Structure 1
């Protein structure tokens, strides 16, 4: 299998700073060459890959476009999709060490009930099977199940089918350790900093989320990003 790693970060025009900080945290810690791309709905529409009607009720602009990532990557190695509201604190190369090439995809297999009825940015907190499994996905581009995840499937199947990962058999779905998609606010703050912190209920880029767990780490990374702008 090709050892190159491609990472696609869900892009939402309302949260550009979240994408910028996620990208920087990924690249800054990486010990391997990682290609990082913003997954923009506008772009995949222009390419004719995403034809679903605009969904004003979607929580993000990349709610369903994330499932196009393996097709867009056109890559037989491992490809990662991650929501923009993540902060990486460790080398993503560590993620690759435990992946079995016989598996089609890997996710953190959360089993939880949201602690709040609403997110801190005012959006309604929904509960459904396999919630947040699709917020961080590692795709094996060489696996038949991933090759079958075509634009036609993404554009015609229900959101539930896609987000519950019904397109892959359970036996072909690998489990990542919780630290790769640590849901801030949904799990108690651990003593050790997780590999990837997911500010799923709202992160420090929102005025009312300055005191969430690990806010200081995200703010420090944002400050690093802003210093790169000053130096440019």
Structure 2
């Protein structure tokens, strides 16, 4: 058995950074572009795993019925990330409606082992009543915090996120990280979960330039959102992805 320090085993090989992406059958192309944008820019080994509801149900890991306020197939299954990572090391969960513009190594290097999780701590109250393809927009504390999370999967508190807990607990308990103390939640810069329509770029301040764009209200893969802010960047990435797939 080889020892491991900071994700590097004693034989010198770097373990892939596990990234779980929420998958929705209505947004397959969003998942593919998100995955492509991550892999293309990564300077470290990454292992990208879709969280697919059908597979989780088939394997008996997910059995809760879909609630009226769930806008995606991964609204709750996202919290299985530590379990799916075998409660080992750090892993990331991210919604599929993201476009990465920077090397994921930059985000991984911000990891601090004293935290159970790390995320962008948005102060966000959407004005819209609907999002994406007509789904109801809900407002709650810590909204969008759970849309991209770095999980310290081996942290004792995260071992409480068993399939049983994920299947029975309320949305409030899970999305507000109520299994943790506030001191166990670390913060990363907002540019790693840059909310289209909410966060703003200051041309004179490079620290405001997005590294990961989150099309939280709806992305260019929906006809009605084709002209949204930063939509051109996503469409360019889609075109590049399609060219690579053809070759």
**TM-score of the aligned structures, taking structure 2 as reference length:** 0.89
Label 1:185 to 1:70 Cα distance change in 2 as closer, same or farther (>3 A): same
1:201-222 Cα offsets, whole Å, 9 max, x none, are 0011111112211111101110
Is 2:230 the partner of 1:206?
Answer: no
State how 1:70-149 maps to structure 2 within 5 Å.
Answer: 70-149=82-161
Q: Which residue number in structure 1 is paired with residue 18 of structure 2?
A: 6
Question: Which of 8, 19, 22 lines up with 2:34 in the alignment?
Answer: 22
Unaligned runs of 5+ in 2: 8-14
Select which of 174, 197, 219 maps to 2:213: 197
Distance across 2 between alignment mates of 1:196 and 1:42 = 27
CA distance in 2, matches of 1:223, 1:67: 32
Match of 2:56 among 44, 59, 84: 44
Q: Distance between the aligned counterparts of 2:170 and 2:103, measured in 1? A: 35
Shift, 1:54, TM fit? 3.2
Q: Distance in 1 between matches of 2:127 and 2:189?
A: 21
Displacement of 1:58 after TM fit? 1.3
3-state SS of paired residue (2:91): strand
8 A Cα contact 1:189 1:213, kept in partner: no
Q: Secondary structure at the match of 2:228?
A: coil
Report the TM-score when normalising by structure 1.
Answer: 0.95
CA contact (8 A) 1:85 1:200 kept: yes
**How far did 1:180 drift?**
0.7
Deviation sequence 1:125-165 (CA, Å, 0-9, x none): 21101100000010001210112211111011111110111
1:221–1:172 Cα change, 3 Å: same
What is the DSSP-based 3-state SS (H/G/I as helix, E as strand, rest coil) of the residue aligned with 1:9?
strand
Residue 135 of structure 2 aligns to a residue whose secondary structure is: coil
Partner residue, 1:67: 79
- Residue in 2 that maps onto 1:162: 174
Aligned pairs, number: 231
Distance 1:99 1:227, change over 3 A: same
